[in-house]
Chains A and B, each alone.
Chain A
Amino acid sequence: MGQEQTIDDDSMFRAAAGGDASAFAELLSRHREVVARVACRLVGGDWSAAEDIAQETFLRLWNAADRYEARGTLRSYLLTVAYRLAADYRRRQRPTTDLGDYDRHIDFSSDTGRLYETNALSNAVRDAVLELPDEQRAVFILSHYEGMKYREIADVIGCPIGTVASRKFQAVQTLRERLAPYLDSTEGVMP
């Protein structure tokens, strides 16, 4: 099935490179969502930056149409471009502003408070993932949130499969330490 998708994508891309706009539109509709989603996580949930990265990714695909060679899947190629663009974006980013104890007035028993609490956990996980070293973070995002196989992640990141496995293991260990306050002490204990 994966092979069929590769053939389809490549045929479609050849047609797009030959000037078939509808073929390019089809490729966009197939892959734009995953590219934007991965970019969004890689840049820490900044949807505006993620949209820009997704757009730039497809623009680069279009501009590289005559030089593109199918080595892995088209999706891997797109995610590799998005991964590099996201890394560039993060390097350009300034440190975020410390908002201090801005949440001290929030009533956690209200609906808004509960929504805030859910967001606080979401933000804590996001921050923990973003604090991972670059290579671990990308592996964790692609593996955990996108469910990608190690083989494809290796293509995207440009490293051996064994390295992907080891980075995933290290990422989970680091997250376990950083998210320890949120893990129930009794959770996960089996007789």
Chain B
Amino acid sequence: MSPCDLARMYLTALADGELPEEEAARLEAHLIDCADCRRESAQLGAVLGLADAWQLPRQFQTGVTDADARKQEEPRLMDLLLTEMRALREEVVSLRAEIAEVRREPRGTRYTPTTSTLTRESVRHDPPSLLPYAPPIEADLFGR
């Protein structure tokens, strides 16, 4: 085993402050001389830094009480969710208006979507029975 292999095995223990003083000093001296081991040490630091990205739910984080967690986390998440729900509600209202417009069109006239992002094809392929107030399929097929 080369001195570098040996040194790299102890880099984690050095970062954790677990090496005896003398061995830590020897390893640090090696790092000053060896660019490869310095790079290895820095990459080890990067991995450990990345590991910090794993966040626990707020109530499990150090020093955070349940009350803190409720105060700080919920309003932010709730705001974001409410914003999305409002946008979705507007989209639903818009779609309902378009569906109503489609129903009012006389047969044979060409429909062009106006406000919604829903495509003409997707409207056409929706099962009629799923649309609100749609006539029963049987009536459409045989009732004419």
Contact = CB atoms under 8 A, between A and B. Distances in A.
B39 A188 contact: yes
Interface residues of B, number: 30
A142 to B, nearest CB: 11
A176 B43 contact: yes
The binding surface of chain B is classed by DSSP as helix
A149 B46 contact: no
A11 to B, nearest CB: 26
Interface residues of A, number: 39
A115 interface: yes
Contact of A190 (B35, B48, B55): B35
Contacts of A122: 53-55
B42 interface: yes
B10 to A, nearest CB: 8
B13 A168 contact: yes
B74 interface: no
A17 interface: no
Contacts of B84: 112
Interface stretch (A39-47, A63-71, A78-86): A39-47
Interface of A: 33, 36-37, 40-41, 45, 47, 50, 111-112, 115, 118, 121-122, 124-126, 129, 140, 143-145, 149-150, 165, 168-169, 172, 175-176, 179, 182-184, 187-191
29 contacts: A47-B57, A47-B59, A50-B60, A115-B77, A118-B53, A118-B55, A121-B50, A122-B54, A122-B55, A125-B51, A125-B53, A150-B18, A165-B12, A165-B18, A168-B12, A169-B11, A169-B13, A172-B12, A176-B43, A176-B47, A179-B47, A183-B46, A183-B47, A188-B39, A188-B42, A188-B43, A188-B44, A188-B45, A189-B39
